[in-house]
Amino acid sequence: MAIYQVVTLPDGILRDKAIPVKNINTGVLRLLDNMKDTMYEYDGIGLAAPQIGVLRRVVVIDIGDDLLELINPEIIKREGEQNGSEGCLSLPGIVGLVNRAEKVTVTALDRNGEEISLEGSGLLARALQHEIDHLDGILFIDKASETKKVK
């Protein structure tokens, strides 16, 4: 599989809205595989297609439990509140304190085109919200109450 270069600010594609996937074909499956490999190569826990320059509504997430591959994900329910630190492969060296929902319910398609629904809380909820924000051109720094540079 291929490892993509992760797009970083100030690249404008990070501010563009991604287009829904209409057909899950070999190109989309290859994109999922390459996104997974890229995420692991960069030691990330999530990656959205715009972060590799592809304006499609596709994300991969792995917080250490299992790989999630989500096509056209949508948050349909948010509950509670959590405030925590976030970073992003597209903003290297920056972390910020971001308020997110403690629990979310997401619907999406899997790689087989089957509709799935999943609930996430804690870190998974944070990762889902962070990656889905990328699909709408929103970065964590837009929601951060404070940011700082780290090495």
- Rounded to an integer, the average pLDDT of 25-36 is 98
Rounded mean pLDDT of 43-60? 98
Give the pLDDT of residue 24. 97
Residue 60: pLDDT band (50, 70, 90) is very high
3-state secondary structure 62-130: CCCCCCEEEEEEEEEEEECCEEEEECCCCCCCEEEEEEECCEEEEEEECCCCCEEEEEEECHHHHHHHH
| Radius of gyration for the chain, computed over Cα atoms and rounded to the nearest angstrom | 14
The confidence score (pLDDT) of residue 87 equals: 97
The one catalytic residue among 69, 79, 131, 146: 131
pLDDT for position 65 = 87
Q: Look at residue 151 and tell me whether its pLDDT is greater than 90.
A: no
Q: Give the model confidence (pLDDT) of 74-133 as tens digits.
A: 999 999 999 999 999 999 999 999 999 999 999 999 999 999 999 999 999 999 999 999
Q: Which domains does the chain show, CATH number per domain?
A: 12-149 (3.90.45.10)
Q: How far apart are CA 17 and CA 128, in angstroms?
A: 17
What is the mean predicted confidence (pLDDT) over 33-50?
Answer: 97
**pLDDT(49) > 80:** yes
What pLDDT is stored for residue 106 in this prediction?
A: 98
pLDDT in tens, 85-102: 999 999 999 999 999 999
pLDDT(1) > 90: no
- Mean of per-residue pLDDT scores for the chain: 97
pTM of the model: 0.96
The answer to whether 102 is a known catalytic residue is no
